[in-house]
Structure 1
């Protein structure tokens, strides 16, 4: 089990991250924290009101309780706080505690809502800001990234390749792969999220809180890596007791927690590399709009001209 922890907001960094570190240590679990490093413009996300399924998700997940009024005004009625400048010490403490750290984004709203309309130059500039801030905070280059809202395309994967990342986690799927987009294969390994997120299940009649833990247990794969994306604002705050219950059940089941960095290194060192699969934008149950998903797998040894240089 690899836990990928997305940190979206200033409040999530300030309150949710230390809470999750404490909880994971209590259950002897490790995880990979991916940080938002620039301005918290969460309030601008109200523009998603026009996306299919947005109202439905907002109503069932108690967004106001989950994020707080102040966070939902950031970048609109309130100035956008710069997360990296305010909470660099919190981030360094995560790494000092033995957890893996990587990049979620610079500006979460900008990436999630505007990536698909950006040029490759704009994408490089946006991700470059995150790379620079990560280097300032941790004193080293980032090895990993996981896109906000699972928004990815050829431009973003080109920028990842240029940054020489070890791996990325931008999509939803069943197993690690090298992504094929528009007839080109990108060389940064993709480790997709394989399990649903809490916010995709919360508030749904078919998934009451009393059944969610068992639902996850039923979904565990025994022959492929399980990757679960959690959020500092959800599992580290509002739904911390429910997540603690899940961690306890994982421990009883004998689930072994691994860092995504170690998983990637292991996969890349094997004699037979991960396969090439299409990365396509599609709908996922419980989310609004389309996100990056794992598509059809190509035959082994694709033509060399398809690989991105």
Structure 2
């Protein structure tokens, strides 16, 4: 039984997919599958149910998962103990970022950490904010930069990076373009282009719709702010983005405050409560970089 087999098994269990697990551990999907099968052969039991599109745990797999995680944690702890003696920080960190992330200080922090601590292996992945938060809370992801509507998400440590209002963006000549601001009732009369469910911007918008009892028509959803702005500029709907995002489109689109949305959209750094010198140091790098880079 090899540690890499346990690592691949845990990745498949947490991702519920051989394909996503392969992306996470950065080897081919057939390689992951072969190693998990070898582990199953050695244990004499099927750990993963492959009969459906979702890779799910069998009873044996559920019994093995906790022990596999414990074995990997012990391996990391041993490496770290040796690193403490030699003055090196070692280990592995899985870092997540919201799809379409363009936050330069975050990349600066990761780069500075990597150069200072090359013994720490970093796996970087993209996903929607809601999924990243769940992965942080479950321990599958160590640290993530997410969009959220909640200042203190349950089950994680949080550092709010940006807190800002939503705005509506329309091209010159649009019916709303001459208004100083818009309301949720105004938006209900127009088609909307916005981010998908699971993002912080969309959560704030959906809560405002519920509060004001309006149901705007969302015609297009996109994860990237550039795509949303481009579609709005072409007349496909009113774009909903944050105030800072809207600055990139000055001249092409007019940004209108939404007068009756009081809740801000947040960009936040969230991380697990795992005791890890590598994670503690990365959080420190992020804190310092964001304090000077925004």
Tell me the TM-score normalized by structure 1.
0.26
Structure with the larger RCO, 1 or 2 (CA within 8 Å, 6+ apart): 1
Tell me the TM-score normalized by structure 2.
0.27
Higher strand share: 2
Larger radius of gyration: 2
